[in-house]
Amino acid sequence: MNKNKILVTGGCGYIGSHTIIEILEQTDFEVISVDNLMNSSADTLDRIEKITGKRVKNYAIDLCDLAKTEEIFKENTDLVGIIHFAALKSVPESVFKPLLYYHNNLNSLLNLLKLVEKYQVNNFIFSSSCSVYGNVSKLPVNEQTPLSIAESPYAYTKQIGEVMIKDFVKNNEVKAVALRYFNPVGAHISGLNGENPINRPSNLVPVITQTAIGIIPEMSVYGYDYDTRDGSCIRDYIHVTDIAKAHIKAMNYLIEGKNEASYEVYNLGTGNGITVLEAIKAFEKVSGVKLNYKLAERRPGDVVAIYSDTTLSEQKLGWRTKLNIEDMMASAWKWQQLLLEEKKAK
Ligand code: NAD
Ligand code: WQD
């Protein structure tokens, strides 16, 4: 049988949905999703359909339930690969609810790997995070940078997840890639799909767009006296569509057998460090909106600066980012405005 279907876990979430859109628009793969909607909404399936003209089937199943998850594998015998996004992802929440994070992120992965083995779905991509590096002393961060002690239970679930996969693929036919994302931001370039934080956001870009639209009266820039070019922290913001495209590259790379090892790791960043104040300026430029912000105390747990070395992903996966900070801000702004219109229409 010609296996041509990809199972995307967490397909109704932020990065999963953007990846599904790119798969549908750029490839011949079929896609199904499994997402129990614990941090997303089934509306995302409508948004995907509006952009691509295609309806994706989502199994609203908890991946921590092995028996139910197995039904997906029984029904879909033509899976060529899995892209595993589903996880809880809030760093501060994981500090308060560590068991929830260990339970959800690790049991879901464990179940999937059992089924990967049983049903021989041999190409596996895992969403990891630059948070696995912890506090780094040398920039930019490359894949050889040693992992230091995780700063949060969330980051630790990613470190453990990577080890589980690495150990697992040693004794079977499965090939896996872990992609360590830096700071994914922005929305689909049409403005028709994006991140829709259920609670008050803590990440910079949703805070910026919610401030601009008036949901947040005034935002804080956490730290203005760091040893950086303008005193604010530096991050490697990367457009979610560039991240999405990297998954297609990585999946084809595995399917075509271009990998040298059965488990490989790649950073996904732009290589450009951007300060908080530069991000704000970029937003103001593309939106024409003056942001109401104040310079505030440092946020506990923040690292001063982190950005990626992009050499390996460029050389091996043949992937490089195309969208810049202004594209990220312009798309996030379009999306925020659509959310407001939808709210008014309700
Ligand atoms: P998201 O919360 O928008 O999407 C994750 C989806 O997984 C959600 O729709 C949620 O309902 C689903 N899910 C969670 N646990 C599940 C379970 N047990 N069974 C079924 N579905 C489940 O998050 P995102 O931003 O799209 O992140 C995707 C992946 O990328 C996550 O693994 C995250 O840790 C990783 N990541 C995200 C970022 C970021 O800043 N967004 C950065 C680095 C890594
Ligand atoms: C970016 C910068 C803040 C809000 C987190 C996770 C990481 C990864 C990505 C999952 C920092 C500053 C923010 C605000 C601000 N996620 N900021 N005012 O902390 O780099 O990374 O998301 O894997 O693991 O830790 O992202 O967007 O929260 O912050 O000044 O209201 O913006 O201090 O310098 P972070 P962020």
**Distance (Å, rounded) from C-alpha 102 to C-alpha 98?**
6
Ligand closest to 300 (CA) is 2
Has the ipTM of the complex gone over 0.95? yes
**Distance (Å, rounded) from C-alpha 73 to C-alpha 34?**
11
- Lining ligand 2 with CB less than 6 A are 89, 91, 129, 131, 183, 202-204, 207, 219-222, 233, 235, 276, 299, 302
Largest separation between any pair of C-alpha atoms in the chain = 61
Encode the chain (346 residues) as per-residue pLDDT tens digits. Answer: 789 999 999 999 999 999 999 999 999 999 999 999 999 999 999 999 999 999 999 999 999 999 999 999 999 999 999 999 999 999 999 999 999 999 999 999 999 999 999 999 999 999 999 999 988 889 999 999 999 988 899 999 999 999 999 999 999 999 999 999 999 999 999 999 999 877 789 999 999 999 999 999 999 999 999 999 999 999 999 999 999 999 999 999 999 999 999 999 999 999 999 999 999 999 999 999 999 999 999 998 899 999 999 999 999 999 999 999 999 999 999 999 999 999 999 8
- Catalytic status, residue 224: no
Q: What is the CA radius of gyration of the chain?
A: 19
Domain map of the chain by residue range? 5-186+238-270
The architecture that CATH gives domain 5-186+238-270 is 3-Layer(aba) Sandwich (3.40)
**Distance (Å, rounded) from C-alpha 206 to C-alpha 141?**
25
pTM beyond 0.90: the answer is yes
The DSSP output letter for 86 is: -
